[in-house]
């Protein structure tokens, strides 16, 4: 099996996942597989299925909380399936799932397109962004999605889903409910823009993030979704939890909705701290915050 896998994609064994997620936590995975094309991805999952090997799809690991437990399956890292194609004459930006969002934003602006400026500071792949309907500044990626091509994990068929056939809401899409689909590429519908004003927006947003977010520490962005009409960070702060820490994990002093890996935090530190903050906020304010980040390998 291993030899066959090696002929299909780049594969490493017994790999630490610490450097493959933005919290810099996690355990060892038996197979770490990096396909570099959709065909390679399809062949890989067919072979894993044939051998009953479970697998997990990894983008840039910027919205997950990995456990430190060893995973006797495979992680399929999509970042080498990363083609980007701008079609300014049609106002279309096309990207494969593993392409990084900030790169797509810059390429779209350079091609004279506008719309994606809100996403320049989101350090995920476009596949991960669509999966969770990532957003900022009152915009979200689904506002711009024209279609998404998905690979069905059971039939191995590719289907292009139009915008109207994708259900989504704030930080949520049907892909979160139905784990049978792997997003392989995305078509975004943008507008003709002005490069200079887009770059000004980017600079403004960058300064706002630098001033308000603890970007100097590993984290996975906002821990909780903002509840209707309020801000999760405000609620956490109102409970006096800024600076509260468990092991090496800490509620950021700069932004209470960020938990940072301040000092060699373990997976358990981050996990316990997220749950502690959730429970404290519930007890003191009665607001049941929804965790935006996904716990992987904790069952
Ligand atoms: C400093 C910082 C700032 C952030 N700011 C924001 C922000 O402003 N707004 C925001 O919404 N988020 C933000 N985030 C969170 C994160 O970057 C986004 O949620 C991003 O969309 C996650 O993409 P990813 O590729 O890292 O996904 P991952 O973390 O790798 O994966 C997340 C989930 O998506 C699934 N997945 C990934 N790719 C695919 C695919 N191709 N097909 C099917 N499933 C897939 C994975 O299996 C997993 O379940 C921030 C994070 C950090 C660290």
- Ligand 1 centroid to Cα of residue 106, in Å, is 18
- Ligand 1 centroid to Cα of residue 154, in Å, is 24
b (16+ CB within 10 A) / e for 193-223: beeeebeebbeebeeeeeeebbbebbbbbbb
Task: Quote the CA–CA distance of 132 and 142 in Å, as a whole number.
Answer: 9
Mean per-residue pLDDT, 11-20: 98
Mean per-residue pLDDT, 230-258: 98
Task: Quote the CA–CA distance of 117 and 195 in Å, as a whole number.
Answer: 11
Residue 299 has pLDDT above 90, yes or no: no
Residue 77 has pLDDT above 90, yes or no: yes
Nearest-CA residue for atom 9 of ligand 1: 135
Using DSSP, state whether 243 is helix, strand or coil: coil
Phi, psi angle pair for 245, to nearest 5°: -135, 155
Nearest C-alpha neighbor of 143 from the set 114, 110, 123: 114
- Per-residue pLDDT, 1: 85
Nearest C-alpha neighbor of 38 from the set 205, 198, 215, 156: 156
Residue 9 has pLDDT above 90, yes or no: yes
Mean per-residue pLDDT, 246-261: 98
222 catalytic? Reply is yes
Nearest-CA residue for atom 10 of ligand 1: 134
120-152 pLDDT, tens digit each = 999 999 999 999 999 999 999 999 999 999 999
Q: Where are the beta strands (DSSP E) in 177-221?
A: 181-189, 191-192
pLDDT class of 2 with cuts at 50, 70, 90: confident
- Per-residue pLDDT, 122: 97
pTM above 0.95, yes or no: yes
182-238 pLDDT, tens digit each = 999 999 999 999 999 999 999 999 999 999 999 999 999 999 999 999 999 999 999
């Amino acid at each position: 099996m291993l030899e066959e896998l090696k002929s299909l994609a780049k594969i490493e064994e017994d790999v630490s996942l610490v450097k493959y997620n933005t919290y810099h936590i996690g355990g060892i995975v038996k197979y770490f597989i990096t396909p570099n094309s959709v065909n390679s991805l399809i062949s890989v999952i067919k072979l894993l299925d044939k051998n009953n090997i479970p697998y997990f799809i990894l983008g840039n690991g910027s919205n997950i909380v990995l456990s430190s437990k060893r995973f006797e399956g495979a992680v399929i890292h999509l970042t080498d399936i990363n083609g980007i194609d701008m079609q300014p004459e049609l106002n279309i930006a096309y990207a494969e799932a593993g392409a990084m969002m900030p790169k797509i934003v810059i390429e779209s602006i350079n091609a004279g397109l506008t719309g994606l400026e809100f996403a320049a500071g989101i350090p995920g792949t476009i596949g991960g962004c669509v999966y969770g309907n990532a957003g900022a500044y009152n915009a979200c990626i689904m506002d711009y999605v024209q279609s998404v091509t998905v690979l069905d994990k059971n039939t191995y068929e590719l289907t292009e889903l139009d915008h109207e056939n994708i259900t989504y809401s704030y930080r949520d899409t049907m892909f979160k409910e139905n784990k049978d689909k792997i997003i392989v590429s995305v078509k975004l519908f943008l507008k003709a823009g002005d490069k200079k004003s887009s770059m000004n927006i980017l600079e403004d947003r960058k300064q706002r993030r630098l001033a308000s977010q603890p970007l100097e520490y590993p984290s996975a962005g906002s821990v909780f979704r903002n509840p209707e009409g309020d801000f999760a960070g405000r609620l956490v702060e109102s409970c006096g939890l800024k600076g509260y820490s468990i092991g090496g994990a800490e509620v950021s002093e700069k932004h209470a909705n960020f938990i940072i890996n301040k000092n060699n935090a373990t997976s358990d530190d981050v996990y316990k701290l997220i749950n502690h903050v959730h429970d404290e906020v519930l007890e003191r304010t009665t607001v049941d915050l929804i965790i935006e980040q996904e716990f992987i390998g904790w069952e």
